[in-house]
Structure formats: C-alpha cells, structure tokens
Amino acid sequence: MKSFFEAYFLFGLVAGTVIRTVYGIRHKRAVAAFRFAESPVMFVLMTLWGLAQVLAIVYVFSSRLDFADYILPAGAGWAGVVVFTVGVVLLWRAHTDLGRNFSPFLEAKEDHTLVTGGIYNTVRHPMYAAHFLWVIGQALLLHNWLAGASGIILFLPIYYIRVGREESFMLERFGDDYRRYMGRTGRIFPKM
C-alpha cells in the first residue's frame, strides 16, 4: 500500500460495499410489483464503473498503473478524506431512510411508499449525491487517471441517463404527490 490516502479509500470502499450488500440482501426478499425496463447502456456503464473500482484496488496494491499518476496539491488527499467520508455517510443515510423501499432497479413493491423523510426531506436522489462525492473523493485520494479520475468520467453518464428515468418512474407511480415533492426538493442538492 502506498499511503494513508490509499488505505482510507479501501476503508471507504469496504464500508460502501457493506452498505450496498446489506440493503441488496434485504431487497432480494421483496417481490417487485412494477418494473421499468432498464437500458442495456446502463448495464454497460455500471459494469465499467465497477471496473473502475477494481482498477483502484489494483492501483493501491501494485505499481502497474503508476504510469497514469497525476500530481495534486498537498492538501488534496485530506480534502479527499472529507469528501469521500461525507459520500459514504450520505450513502448509508440514504439507504437507511429509504429502508424497505430500496431497490437497485427501477421497480416498486406492492407496498412501496413515497419516502419524503430523513435526507429525502431535502434531496430526491441522495444516493446520486453520495456517488458524486464518492468519485470526487476517489480522484482526490488516488492520484491516478485510471484509478482515481476515471470514476468521475464513468459516473456522469450513469447519472444523466438514470436519474431522468427514475423521475419518470416515480411520476408514473406516485403522480401528483411526486410532482409536489419535486417542487419542494432539489434533485441532488437541497433547494436554496
């Protein structure tokens, strides 16, 4: 391992993986009553983003990707610790507040409810906000174009393709209740 910042990234990666796994297991127990078709492009992008996380692990434990290193100011790593930590905590909070309504797919269960409490009181898509913070923190912690910055490049199209489809899904499922919710909340940042 190269430094504290690489170790911190691994710690956060494990924490984020545990969060997604715990809620993913809970999700598998529920039966979907309604499902939107997912774009094949999304599966490709999600796979590539997963590979970016694998590249980060390769970078931390070997020198194979050192040819793509970049240099940032000395405080960038500490800024990365803060940003990455907020991203992981926000990811946990979003999953916790969503509870049994969480699904990694565009689907709803029969007893699916519109969650507007907790972090969802101010932001409609805190998981995307968490992942934006994640990829920015990763780029600040891992000073490498393939292991650090590639996450940003790969996450942007995921966000732009998926969030609109999720909002359409929610409008179809919850109608005017969701429209009112949209009017008082920000997409990934709280409204001022």
- For the chain, give every domain's residue range: 4-184
Query: What whole-number percentage of the chain has pLDDT above 90?
Result: 65
- Rounded CA-CA distance 111/41 in Å is 30
Is residue 174 pLDDT above 80, yes or no?
A: yes
- Rounded CA-CA distance 163/113 in Å is 19
- Rounded CA-CA distance 92/17 in Å is 10
Q: Which DSSP symbol is given to 145? A: I
Q: What is the pLDDT of residues 103-121, one digit of tens each?
A: 777 777 777 889 999 999 9
**pLDDT tier for residue 27 given thresholds of 50, 70 and 90:** low
The CATH architecture one would assign to domain 4-184 is Up-down Bundle (1.20)
Query: pLDDT value at position 33?
Result: 61
Q: Read off the tokens for 131.
A: 């992942």
- Rounded CA-CA distance 136/111 in Å is 36
Whether 133 and 93 have beta carbons less than 8 Å apart is answered as no
- Rounded CA-CA distance 113/25 in Å is 19
